Amino acid sequence: MKLFKKKINYIPEKFYFQRENKKNFIIHHYAPHTFNAGDHFVVQSIRNHILELLPEAVFVPKAIADNRGWGSPIGLRGENVLISNTHADAVIVGGSDQYNNWSPRISRKEIDFLKPPLFLIGLGVSSKDLNLEPYIKNKDFNDDIVATNKKAALSSVRDDVTYNFLKNLGFDKAINTGCPALHLFDSEFRINDSKNVLITFPFPLVNNNVENFKYKILVDVSHKLIKYLHDKNLTPIIVCHDDRDVNVAQYEFANEKIFFSNYHKDYFELYNNALLVIGSRLHATILTSGMGIPNININLDLRGQAFTQSFEFSDWHLDYTETDIFNKLIERTEKVLSGNLSMFINFSAKKKEKQIVFRKFIEDTVQIIKMRSNR
């Protein structure tokens, strides 16, 4: 028996219009609600910055796509449009590479029925491999993407590549704020008095021949790197961002320290006290860049390349296909261990520029929420 009868449209119930003199602002936040730490970094940053300006905000989590156990309904479509119309003062789609094959599956045929103001915050593209176009399997999704952006009161992207992707589709009003996770912390780069060097990459890369190739390279490099770190009397820690990483990490690195948590504050503590972070979990690189922790990213696809290009890190970060990648990693590691942080000076200036843009975007978001809610 179906509990929800499909409606032709999603006009809000009277309750939405009758909420006068309310003391709270209900925000439905559509994001990937998995156990992946990177998703939580983005979500937390968006909420923290909005709450600074709008402490009356109450966030209700909504799963934007396949959510691996966080409840249903999923996505800003169908029943959820009705729910958001009925109960929300604003709707946010915020975080991660949502333009990768248009993960939210928001339909141009439904999005116009949404009544509360919509904000797209820090979305990004991805690709199947390095130097490939943003991945969109169904070209009809491009029309859905444009319609969703046109419906939004404000739209922001995390890098220049995503901005140009939207512009090529015909939408040129997106604002490049950088990834929200970059703005979760604001610290100068430093060398911690620590022996912990964190190694992170998405371990279950076993989907096809390309991914298997990446996997073999990353595992091989990690084993060599671990030996080097032990020889330097440092402590390598294998950091898992996703619960699916743990089994594979345990198999490949049975004699090493392994870290995983489903609480983002545990990651904040771990990263904030690290000496160096190396790997291809992009949100680890982005988060620690805001924390001021030296890092070296290994780019696996367009996501890493876009971050590297946006912040002019091409002479520091490495593509996984790089010739002699291990020795190049060691060369960079030795620079950090010597106390040389000159490679992050230019990045720090660009980060501050993006921070100003991001905060202005959040200010405008809050202003629109207040204005629309007082109608």
- Residue range 152-166, pLDDT digits in tens: 999 999 999 999 999
Residue 183 CA to residue 359 CA, distance in Å, equals 9
Q: Same domain, yes or no, for 112 and 219?
A: no
Containing structural domain, residue 256: 196-340
pLDDT digits (tens, 9 = 90+) for 95-125: 778 999 999 999 999 999 999 999 999 999 9
Cα 292 to Cα 152, 269, 272, distances in angstroms: 33, 13, 8
Number of domains forming the structure of the chain:
2
CA distance 91 to 28: 5
177 and 226, same domain (yes or no) = no
Identify whether the C-beta of residue 214 lies closer than 8 Å to the C-beta of residue 320. yes
* Confidence band of 36 (pLDDT split at 50, 70, 90): confident
In the predicted structure, residue 15 carries a pLDDT above the cut 70: no
How does pLDDT run across 166-192, given as a tens digit for each residue?
Answer: 999 999 999 999 999 999 999 999 999
| Statement to judge: residues 149 and 259 lie in one domain | no
* pLDDT greater than 50 at residue 268: yes
Segment 322-360, tens digit of pLDDT: 999 999 999 999 999 999 999 999 999 999 999 999 999
Residues 200 and 52 in one domain: no
Closest CA to 179 of 56, 279, 308: 308
Same domain? For 202 and 95 the reply is no
Q: What is the pTM of this model?
A: 0.92
331 shares its domain with 216: yes
d(CA 375, CA 373): 6
User: Per the domain annotation, does 8 fall within a domain?
Assistant: no
* Residue 254 sits in the same domain as residue 137: no
Confidence of residue 14 (pLDDT cuts 50, 70, 90): low
CATH number, domain containing residue 154:
3.40.50.2300
- Summary mean pLDDT of the chain: 91
Residues 296 and 269 in one domain: yes
What pLDDT sits at residue 8? Answer: 47
